[in-house]
Copies of this chain bind each other. A is one copy, B any other.
């Protein structure tokens, strides 16, 4: 059923359709303590594609010494390289990663840059300028090989080292990535600290600097704000959203902590609003329940957990004295 009448959308700002970029197999699983076996990863990605996801971030060509969870990305890419229907970006931090991605047959890569100096240094061991130069090189090489490049701006709202980030600073970096040739730039609230006002300020600056159809948003649910921030950005007309099945991506050092925006919660909302996604929610819920089983826990997604429970049991609801 279709709903309508979101305030702020009276000018028609809410998009009719949203493209979801599923990042669970990469941004989600890379943060898991357990290394998920290759077969389970392939099964997860197959289930996500079957559920209707058209873009699935499949892995990362980073050093397996640092991120053993992604050590089999070459095999994941090889497995899916003949499937044309789905876009499967893989993260590459540098030229060496790009070479590995190309060798495996990847057609799309992702690069990421941080909006703040201290995060750049901590995560990329490079200054902001050095990392930009490196990405320009990677992006140029990828495009010369006929690959598409997706960009990420980390710490677009808040940095764990520097605090709140000036929206113009994140937008400027987004423009640089777009200028290098990234077909899309995803603005990431890495720490999950944003609430809707800050999310909007960031998004407004981004769409002032880069055409709106090349901007995606990427929220983490650390403080329970991921979905409300996403809706605020949709009301601006942004129509590409990153999310993670089952809410994968919680910090491994804080069990139970929320991770990325859960794809199930997002699709539940979009379905309710009558915004098309092309995704079968029940199939998505099953994919989330399966990978949660592999990880030995319940789905972090609220909607995923509620719907999985409903799908798996016809348990009687006891409702006395509830409101």
Chain A positions near chain B (C-beta within 8 angstroms): 1-9, 13, 27, 30-31, 60, 62, 66-67, 91, 93, 112, 119, 122-123, 152, 154, 160, 164, 186, 188, 190, 192, 194-198, 200-201, 204, 218, 221-225, 227-228, 231-232, 235-236, 251, 253-254, 256-258, 262, 264-265, 268-269, 271-274, 298, 301-303, 305-307, 309, 315, 317-323
Contacts and interface: CB of A to CB of B under 8 A. Distances in A.
Contacts of A264: 224
A30 B201 CA distance: 41
B309 A257 contact: yes
A271 B224 CA distance: 13
B321 A93 contact: yes
Contact of A225 (B62, B67, B253, B265): B265
A190 B4 contact: no
A15 B196 CA distance: 15
A6 B196 contact: yes
Given A1-B164, A123-B320, A227-B228, A235 B309 contact: no
Contact of A195 (B30, B60, B223, B272): B272
Contacts of A8: 6-9, 235
Interface centre among A222, A262, A273 (most CB of B within 10 A): A222
B195 A273 contact: yes
A314 B112 CA distance: 28
A236 B222 CA distance: 27
B323 A152 contact: yes
Contacts of A305: 254, 256-258
Contacts of A269: 195-196, 224-225, 228
Contact of A256 (B3, B154, B204, B298): B298
Contacts of A298: 256
B322 A123 contact: yes
19 contacts: A3-B196, A7-B7, A7-B8, A7-B200, A7-B232, A27-B322, A30-B321, A31-B322, A123-B322, A190-B322, A190-B323, A194-B272, A196-B231, A196-B272, A223-B306, A224-B265, A253-B318, A257-B305, A257-B306
